[in-house]
Amino acid sequence: MEIGLRSFLIISLVGFSLYSCLEPTYYDTYTGYVLSLEEVKGHIKRNSSEWCVSEVLPCNPQETRRLDGTCNNLKHPNRGASHTPTYRLLPAHYDKDFEPRKSKSGKPLSLCRKIRTSLLAEGRVPDTELTQLLLHFWVFVSSDVLSLHDTVNYILWKPYCCQERGKTDKGCIPNIIPEDDPVHRFSSIRCMNLTRPWSYQSTGCYRNDTTPERIITASPAYDLSHVYGLSLKLINEKHRSFKNGMLKFEVENNMIWPPSTKTPVNLCLLNQKPKETRCHDTPESGSNSVLGLNLFVIWTWRFHNFVASELSRINPCWSDDRLFFTARDIVIAYYMQMFYYELSPTLLGYENLLRDGVLSPFKDFRDLYKEDLLPQISIEYPVVLRWAHTITEGVLKMYDAKGNYLNETKIVDLTLRTGYLVENLEFITHGAYRQPAAKNDGVVDPDISEKGLGPHQRASDLPTSDMCKNRYFGLAPYIKYRKLCSGVDYRSFDDLIEVMDPERIEILKELYEHVEDIDLMAGIYSERYVQGGHVPLTLYCVVVEQMMRTMMSDRHWYERPNRPNAFTRNQLLQIRKASVAQMLCLVGDGVTHIQPHAFSMPGPGNEMCSCKMIEKINFWAWKDTSCGLSNA
């Protein structure tokens, strides 16, 4: 029997323990220390328990991955849960009172908007190799380990930072627009709304006289928390159908969707009512936000049910619990295989990742797990990921199944507008693997740099906000990260010639007094590509460091032969077949032909072909012989 009774009982224990008489232990989210009941009561009284307290039921070394991320590390049970801290690749750099650092001479650094407009011009230039689908998946992967509360803060809770009221609110950090701004010198806009990042200090979890550390609501492991959520109780009560291991779903316009919200709180603020009404009621409501995340939540929701249905067909004797948790395990592994072995080689370079140990050249198991390494993300990782704004195409093009161009719309206008997808999802899907991404050439799409949040803000420059947050997170100067990555000291601007073109160095000289003043993102915007890849050198370094740490710190990493409920060798070989083309052939509306490497543009060596030609997983690898023969 491929998956035995013992594994099923372990899976069941996870589901049962939440409602059993087992007593939880309470941990401080920031320090990881055990809290007394009195300390927990204090947080409840101060209304800070949601941010500051982790509730952890006793760990079982043989149990599978928990939805809430706890017990991933048995020595530190709360690490891996939501709200637990990031770590820093380099020590924090702040001015006094933890305000953004100043230049080496003590003067304020140049305005973020000034730096952005100097380094990144505005325009539209298509890439010749990468598709828009790659960007959609990049957003989806990033959202698994991040959270949206900082953005929600300045969209909904504090939209007034550019007004008189914002001058006295310490939570406001508006982006000031210089008088000679190339765009807004012709408008009345002199400020873009932005708020200070939430931290353990600002939420009352830790002392205000300590270095502010960003608080993140997602779990740090890649576990599809934005699909399955972070609470077994919640997904059991609201999202599981308890039939054949499937999630609840709805059918509208002959398409399958995650359940729609049934409450008065509708987060799809831009739905054009009364025609557009659909808004997801998924475990993490952020799935309604930006388009890429929304698309892959829909596709992954459908894919889970496809996998569960296949397992049910093959193993009719399995219980709903067993089908659900096994399907979830397969879907998470499939998603990680796509991220590590498909998207990352396309963007970062296969030979580079092979050399640095991120990828294995073999299809068999590998085990890099280190129990003393905590499951965390670096604070730098989500910052550098936002470089992707520079290769995001602002105009979304739609096609039919035959590749005929139909229509286009602005991608920034689809944030919090799930209702638009009901009539257009099929055409957006066909466009995703046909439309090129924007080229990384020092030019950013004007919608990304002027209307980044669509109608939610009067003006919003996403790369400028990224630069500003760089400072409020206390990130070290760019050259410190270059030394971390290369071991080289950069003592003057001219030393940067090995990683930048001369004209980029000249612009940096005009923006910064000293080479040590350069912001991390400003340096990344100015760098050359890593050889064999499509990303700047320092971004590659930070991302690879995180990818290695994720593998080594995740007790449930899918390639491990010794993890609880590990795949058999044959099952892992089936997971190795995962591809985004296969996924869209299975769950994408009307997809019958697609290029095999769908993160790359179709062309010679990557011609579009019938879905029948795309390699597929054979779920018979999960056949349980104790179930007897299937009727299939």
pLDDT bin (cut points 50, 70, 90) of residue 285 is: low
Q: What is the mean pLDDT of residues 268-273?
A: 88
Lowest mean pLDDT among 181-185, 263-267, 298-302: 263-267
Coil vs helix vs strand at 612: helix
Kindly indicate the confidence band of residue 19, based on its pLDDT and cuts at 50, 70 and 90: very low
Rounded-to-integer distance, Cα 190 and Cα 283, Å: 38
CATH of range 225-384+538-623; options 3.90.1150.10, 1.10.3720.10, 1.10.640.10, 3.50.50.60: 1.10.640.10
Q: If you count DSSP H runs as helices and E runs as strands, how many of each does the chain have, helices first? A: 22, 14
List phi, psi (to 5°) of 424.
-125, 0
Per-residue pLDDT averaged across 463-488, rounded?
A: 94
Where in the chain are the domains? 225-384+538-623
What integer pLDDT is reported at residue 158 of this predicted model? 83
62 band by pLDDT with thresholds 50, 70 and 90: very high
Query: Using 50, 70 and 90 to split pLDDT, how confident is the model at 6?
Result: very low
Residue 16 or residue 83, greater confidence: 83
Quote the mean pLDDT of the chain.
Answer: 91
Q: Which residues pair with 255 in a beta bridge?
A: 252
- Closest residue by Cα to residue 228 from 213, 214, 246, 215: 246
Question: What's the rounded Cα separation, in Å, for the pair 476 and 470?
Answer: 9
Taking Cα atoms as reference points, which of 454, 377, 447 lies closest to residue 143? 377
Q: How confident is the model at residue 159 (pLDDT cuts 50, 70, 90)?
A: confident
Bridge partners of 122? 444
The answer, yes or no, to whether residue 462 has pLDDT greater than 60, is yes
Query: In the predicted model, is pLDDT for residue 18 greater than 70?
Result: no
CB-based contact 410:451 (threshold 8 Å): yes
pLDDT tens per residue across span 368-418: 999 999 999 999 999 999 999 999 999 999 999 999 999 999 999 998 899
Question: pLDDT band at residue 157, thresholds of 50, 70 and 90?
Answer: confident
The two structure tokens encoding residue 363: 């299809």
- pLDDT over 90 percentage in the chain: 78
Residue 75 to residue 617: CA distance in whole angstroms = 36
- For the record, the structure tokens of 234 come out as 């919640």
Average pLDDT of span 167-171: 89
Distances (CA, A) of 481 to 299, 442, 550: 37, 21, 20
Crossing angle of helices 502-511 and 112-119, rounded to 10° = 160
Among 248-262, 294-308, 456-470, the least confident range: 456-470
Report the sign of the C-alpha dihedral through residues 335, 339, 341, 343, in that order.
positive
| Average pLDDT for 491-497 | 96
Q: Judge whether residue 253 has pLDDT over 80.
A: yes
Residue 341 and residue 495: Cα distance in Å, rounded? 35
Report in angstroms the alpha-carbon separations of 467 from 247, 289, 460, 472.
Answer: 39, 22, 13, 9
Asked if 568 contacts 399 with a C-beta cutoff of 8 angstroms, the reply is no
Element (H, E) at 129: strand 126-131
| Burial class of 628 by CB neighbour count within 10 A (0 to 12, 13 to 18, 19+) | exposed
Averaged over 341-357, what is the pLDDT? 97
- 466 token code pair: 């990224």
Q: Are 43 and 346 in contact (CB under 8 A)?
A: no
Nearest to 288 by CA among 261, 264, 254: 261
Model confidence at 621: pLDDT above 70: yes
- Which pLDDT does position 11 carry in this prediction? 42
The pLDDT value given to residue 17: 40
Q: Lowest-confidence range among 64-73, 278-287, 605-614?
A: 278-287
Answer whether 377's CB lies under 8 Å from 145's CB: yes
Q: Per-residue pLDDT tens for 69-82? A: 999 999 999 999 99
pLDDT at 540 over 90: yes
Q: Look up residue 83 and give its DSSP letter.
A: T
DSSP assignment of 389-457, as one string?
A: GGG--SEEEEE-TT--EEEEEEGGGGTT-GGGHHHHHHHHHHHHTTSEEE--SSEE-HHHHHBTTGGGS
Residue in 498, 489, 492, 546 with CA at minimum distance from that of residue 526 = 498
- The mean pLDDT of 579-600, rounded to a whole number, is 97
